[in-house]
Amino acid sequence: MAQITGKAFDRKLFTRVFRYVAPYKRVFYFALFLTIFLAALGVIRPILIGKAIDVYVVNNDPTGLLYLMLIVVGILFVEAAAQFYQTYYSNWLGQSVTIDLRSLLFNHITSFKLKYFDKTAIGTLVTRCISDIETIAEIFSQGLLSIMGDLLKLIVVIAVMFAINWQLTLYSLAPIPFLIIAMVVFKNAIKKAFQQVRTQVARLNAFAQEHIVGMAIVQVFNREAKEKEKFVAINESHKKAHIRSVWAYSIFFPVVEILSAISLSLLIWWGVGGVLNQEVSMGDLVMFILFIHMLFRPIRQLADRFNVLQMGMVGSERVFAVLDTESQIQDSGFIKSGVRGSIEFKNVWFAYQDEEWVLRDISFTAKEGETVAFVGATGAGKSSIVNLINRFYEFQKGEILIDNISIQDYDLEYLRDEIAVVLQDVFLFSETVANNISLHNPDITREDIIAAAEAVGASSFIEKLPDTYDYDVRERGGMLSVGQRQLLSFIRAYVYNPKILILDEATSSVDTESELMIQRAIERLTENRTSIIIAHRLSTIQKADRIIVLDNGVITEQGTHQELLANEGHYKRLIDMQYVGS
């Protein structure tokens, strides 16, 4: 990942962010025009007010004064309308860029290997997708254009002040060098604080997401108090990071107010003398007082704007660090048709990390329409075989073939369309039963879902639910039993009609009654398709065409149930242990 530098403004990084404005360049240029227009329009009111005093008040001309004030009011309305559209389109632009960038980031994350998620906290990725991208939106809505507007306003005001009375201007601007020093100190002080704030937000999100999802474990093992202590510690770090930024603000803003008061005092002290000596008009003095307010307001706001910009830079660095992460499965395959279902492993070696081999020189064949079961102790490498067939992970040595074609020659999307996986831990979304089965695939109709449920033998329990197929199962399917969730996963697999079916310990966590239903579903699912079954309960695989025994990543035996029993080897010992244990 790219290093997070936290620069207040990184031109290269900003150029990269700005590319996402290209589809909305007309809106950007319109907002930019309004920004320039507002900067120029702002100085007109003080000039007109000064003229009103010198020309109409001094000469006692109420009619002229009325007309001029009406012009000032008209300018105020124009300024208000321009401000509205500038604010609206700046925010619209920021949100449009956010949508595009968030979609790009999410799509990029979904293409990552599972290995990436093994070592990256989910809460951190949530932070990148949500709050970090929001800070990028603020670059446009409250950062860049606002900074340009404030800087233009400063330049225009100072230029007009010098044009009207350079001596009065120099007195007014005497405290500015001290203000510049204060801004530099403030910027440096706030930079690290903002980086730490983003880091602590990511830590908070990661901790909260992980512990809310795992709340059952926290409560079962009575860890509430300890986890609360950890959360309090992380929350305290988050608070301290914010306090450091608040501390910088609490010093900077009073300094700005003091320097503003000094500037105003110098102006009045010298200006009143000028009025008395008839060197300065009263209108000019009032005009300059208004200019001083116009100067220090954007200067005070500039600090905030630069902080918003800096937060956006930090957020964009973090987002681009994820976008620049190359953790995808290489999808160079070109074959998008013709899968029948035969699988062959040839001398496959696989490790999740370095050369800590999980699979060692694995070779086997599953013919088209055949059911092959894998058994072995936990950590023997059974699930790793599943991950390799789906190309969730890449193997290091050997070759995997489907229909005598390298698995890497298949288009990845097509390959996964032809493989259905039923896992032990079924994940259901907070959706209806029907949507959890179809996964919003427009090609799968309600009739297809009902037919699949009847074929699998699960329609009876669905029809007993309050809203049948429209019943909301809630988060992770919490309103259903383990067996019911498992049956939904079978329907999901069946309705997609894959050529290859993988069952990864699909009956290990269900009761006997549910197991009988699931066993019938398995028999229906495995008809006329190649099936790979990873079994915990050995009674569920006795009808398999071949059973392969894994031990420490090595195939130790393979054959039918009867053949392996006759061998009296590792499989026979597993059978004996399971039945003795039961």
User: pLDDT tens digit string along 197-246?
Assistant: 777 777 787 777 777 767 767 676 677 787 788 888 888 888 888 787 77
Between 2 and 271, the higher pLDDT residue: 271
Q: Give the N- to C-terminal CA distance of the chain in Å, as an integer.
A: 50
Helix (H) or strand (E) holding 364: strand 357-366
pLDDT confidence of 81, banded at 50, 70, 90?
very high
Q: Is residue 306 part of a domain?
A: yes
Please check whether residues 280 and 347 belong to one and the same domain: no
How many Å apart are CA 560 and CA 578, to the nearest integer?
Answer: 18
Statement to judge: residues 418 and 543 lie in one domain: yes
> Which CATH number belongs to the domain containing residue 461 in this structure?
3.40.50.300
Of the pLDDT bands very low, low, confident and very high (cuts 50, 70, 90), residue 5 is very low
Q: Provide DSSP, 235-298.
A: HHHHHHHHHHHHHHHHHHHHHHHHHHHHHHHHHHHHHHHHHHTTSS-HHHHHHHHHHHHHHHHH
**Which is it for the CA torsion 142, 147, 148, 152, positive or negative?**
positive
What are the C-alpha distances in Å from 269 to residues 265, 272, 274, 298? 6, 6, 9, 24
Strand 371-375 relative to strand 530-534, pairing: parallel
Over residues 6-16, the mean pLDDT reads 68
The pLDDT score that the predictor gives to residue 511 is 56
- Do residues 316 and 366 both lie within one domain? no
Predicted confidence band at 513 (pLDDT cuts at 50, 70, 90)? low
Reply yes or no on whether the pLDDT at 188 is more than 80: no
DSSP string, 491-506: HHHHHT--SEEEEEST
Task: Report which of 383, 437, 434, 390 is spatially closest to residue 412, judged by C-alpha positions.
Answer: 390
> In which element (H, E) is residue 63 found?
helix 62-110
Whether the predicted pLDDT of 516 surpasses 80: no
Query: Among 265, 292, 323, where does a domain finish?
Result: 323
- Cite the DSSP H helix spans in 457-569: 459-463, 482-495, 512-525, 561-567
Whether residues 131 and 227 share a domain: the answer is yes
Q: How does pLDDT run across 348-402, given as a tens digit for each residue? A: 998 887 778 888 888 888 888 888 888 887 777 888 888 888 888 888 888 989 8
* DSSP at 420: E
State the residue for tokens 């029907």.
434
Give a yes or no: residue 54 inside a domain.
yes
What are 455-491's pLDDT values in tens digits? 877 788 888 888 888 888 877 677 777 777 878 888 8
For the cut 60, the answer to whether the pLDDT of residue 283 exceeds it is: yes
Q: Say whether both 274 and 366 belong to one domain.
A: no
pLDDT tens for residues 254-266?
888 888 888 878 8
471 with 350, same domain: the answer is: yes
Domain-located, residue 336: no
Crossing angle of helices 25-42 and 44-51, in 10° steps, is 20
- Per the structure, the count of domains in the chain is 2
The answer to whether position 330 is within a domain reads no
Q: What is the rounded CA–CA span in Å between residue 343 and residue 406?
A: 10
Q: What is the pLDDT of residue 4?
A: 44
Rounded CA separation 103/130 (Å): 11
**pLDDT computed for residue 302 by the predictor:** 72
Q: How far apart are CA 407 and CA 417, in angstroms?
A: 13
User: Do residues 381 and 553 lie in contact, with contact meaning Cβ atoms separated by under 8 Å?
Assistant: yes
Choose the final residue of a domain: 290, 323, 356.
323
For position 167, what pLDDT does the model report? 80
Whether the CB-CB separation of 501 and 525 falls below 8 Å is answered with yes
Q: How far apart are CA 306 and CA 96, in angstroms?
A: 22
Query: What's the whole-number mean pLDDT along residues 301-314?
Result: 74
Residues 399 and 262 in one domain: no
| CA 484 from centroid of its chain's CA atoms | 32
Cα dist. 369→141, 218, 409, 486 in Å?
A: 59, 44, 22, 23
- Report the C-alpha gap between 79 and 410 in whole angstroms: 61
Q: Are residues 362 and 313 in the same domain?
A: no
Same domain for 382 and 319 = no
Segment 284-290 mean pLDDT: 81
Work out the pLDDT band at 582, boundaries 50, 70, 90: very low
- Which domain, by its residues, includes 540? 343-581
Q: Could you tell me if 426 and 485 are in contact, meaning their C-beta atoms sit under 8 angstroms apart? A: yes
Lowest mean pLDDT among 60-64, 405-409, 576-580: 576-580
Of 154, 150, 153, 148, whose CA–CA distance to 176 is shortest?
154
249 domain residue, yes or no: yes
Residue 332 lies in a domain: no
Q: Which two tokens stand for residue 215?
A: 């709340």
Domain boundary among 292, 323, 354: 323
CB 215 within 8 A of CB 199: no
Total residue length of the chain: 582
CATH of the domain at 253: 1.20.1560.10
Do 76 and 147 fall within a single domain?
yes
Element (H, E) at 92: helix 62-110
Select the highest-mean-pLDDT range: 39-53, 134-148, 198-212, 505-519.
39-53
In the chain, the amino acid numbered 24 is Y
Domain assignment present for 467: yes
Average pLDDT of the chain?
Answer: 80
Q: Are residues 143 and 274 in the same domain?
A: yes
Can you tell me the mean pLDDT for 121-150?
Answer: 76
Residue 461 in domain: yes
Return all residues near 177 (Cβ < 8 A) that are at least 6 apart: none
**Does one domain contain both 393 and 455?**
yes
pLDDT at 19: 84
Enter the tokens of residue 85: 């559209």
H or E stretch at 190? helix 176-213
